[in-house]
Amino acid sequence: RQRYVEKDGKCNVQHGNVRETYRYLTDIFTTLVDLQWRFSLLVFILAYALTWLFFGLIWWFIAYCRGDLDHLEDHAWTPCVNNLNGFVSAFLFSIETETTIGYGHRVITDKCPEGIVLLLLQAILGSMVNAFMVGCMFVKISQPNKRAETLVFSTHAVVSLRDDRLCLMFRVGDLRDSHIVEASIRAKLIKSKQTQEGEFIPLDQTDLSVGFETGDDRLFLVSPLIISHEIDERSPFWDVSRQQLEKDDFEIVVILEGMVEAT
């Protein structure tokens, strides 16, 4: 049976016929974070390589226009950048400038105002690239996908009497010693529905109460807990028999949210 949400928490939904794709570029930070790892690493490498190459080309162009490349052996000539004798050395100087390595062999002189302006621009732009790309990598690494691997749900949900009340119950537990702070849980019933006006809703979402009124949905998840949904007059399962429950096509999605204590 095709699922709406997979067991590992991934939503089994594919977006099609998306026309205004430019909206992804307006929020470029989130778009880069949502990319797969191989594309994120490719963007990370290109962001640095292209800026190094771009400014290296400008450093070489300045040296070419000033005639520094024609006076390489003239010690009386003051170039814009000492020991810059071609595009490769200009590219290396661009890397040293943006990464603040400073080997000391190639250095800008005070007789080149255009070079000083370019140095300031590259330093500022380099800091912006560092902040943007390092921020993307940090957010992507700290995503909670792997932390969810140590959260365990019971394989089966059961319907049984509890305190003389019919309840839908399942169990959840955390395998790690570090606690989840402000943990809360909620459940959604995903089922097709037809309204009184005849409208067919293929994936209608209905809340299943798991203790919102009493505060039982706020979990102190130190040991495994049993989550209970009471089947009363407000429950969507109130009019469903056991035989109909086995035949109906529906899905219950349980969402556990919280903050990891360690991070």
1 lies in some domain: no
Asked whether 71 and 84 are in contact (CB, 8 A), the reply is no
Asked whether 90 and 57 are in contact (CB, 8 A), the reply is yes
Report the C-alpha gap between 149 and 187 in whole angstroms: 19
Report the C-alpha gap between 211 and 183 in whole angstroms: 13
Report the C-alpha gap between 176 and 248 in whole angstroms: 36
The length of the chain in residues reads: 263
pLDDT of residue 5: 86
The burial class, CB within 10 Å (0-12 / 13-18 / 19+), for 217 is middle
pLDDT one digit per residue (tens) for the chain, 263 residues: 788 888 877 888 887 887 777 787 788 888 888 888 899 999 999 999 999 999 999 999 999 999 988 888 888 888 999 989 999 999 999 999 999 888 888 899 988 999 999 999 999 999 999 999 999 988 888 777 777 888 899 989 999 999 999 999 999 999 988 888 889 999 999 998 888 898 899 889 999 999 888 889 999 998 999 999 999 999 999 988 888 888 888 999 999 999 888 77
Could you tell me the CATH number of the domain that includes residue 37?
1.10.287.70
**Three-class secondary structure of residue 206 per DSSP:** strand
Of 106, 111, 110, 81, nearest in space to 96 by CA? 106
pLDDT of residue 41: 92
pLDDT of residue 4: 86
Residues 6+ apart with CB under 8 A from 145: 9
Distances (CA, A) of 135 to 56, 123, 141, 262: 25, 18, 10, 20
16 lies in some domain: no
pLDDT of residue 229: 94
Same domain flag for 56 and 88: yes
Asked whether 226 and 171 are in contact (CB, 8 A), the reply is yes
Per the structure, the count of domains in the chain is 2
44 lies in some domain: yes
12 lies in some domain: no
19 DSSP 8-state letter? -
Enclosing domain of residue 94? 21-142
107 lies in some domain: yes
Same domain flag for 152 and 138: no
Same domain flag for 158 and 46: no
Same domain flag for 41 and 133: yes
Distances (CA, A) of 59 to 62, 79, 113, 148, 190: 5, 12, 13, 49, 60
The three-point CA angle 45-47-51 to 5° equals 120
Last residue of a domain, one of 142, 173, 198: 142
Write the DSSP string, 113-145. Answer: HHHHHHHHHHHHHHHHHHHHHHHHHHHHHT-TT
Same domain flag for 173 and 203: yes
One-letter amino acid at 197 equals: E
Asked whether 228 and 171 are in contact (CB, 8 A), the reply is no
CA 165, 171, 177, 178 torsion-angle sign: negative
User: Would you state the structure tokens that stand for residue 138, as one six-digit string?
Assistant: 């940090």
Same domain flag for 135 and 182: no
pLDDT of residue 143: 76
Same domain flag for 156 and 97: no
Same domain flag for 221 and 256: yes
Same domain flag for 129 and 206: no
Report the C-alpha gap between 106 and 81 in whole angstroms: 6
Last residue of a domain, one of 121, 142, 163: 142
2 lies in some domain: no
**pTM of the entire predicted model:** 0.69
Same domain flag for 26 and 121: yes
Same domain flag for 92 and 184: no
179 DSSP 8-state letter? P
One-letter amino acid at 192 equals: S
pLDDT of residue 103: 85
Same domain flag for 34 and 132: yes
206 lies in some domain: yes
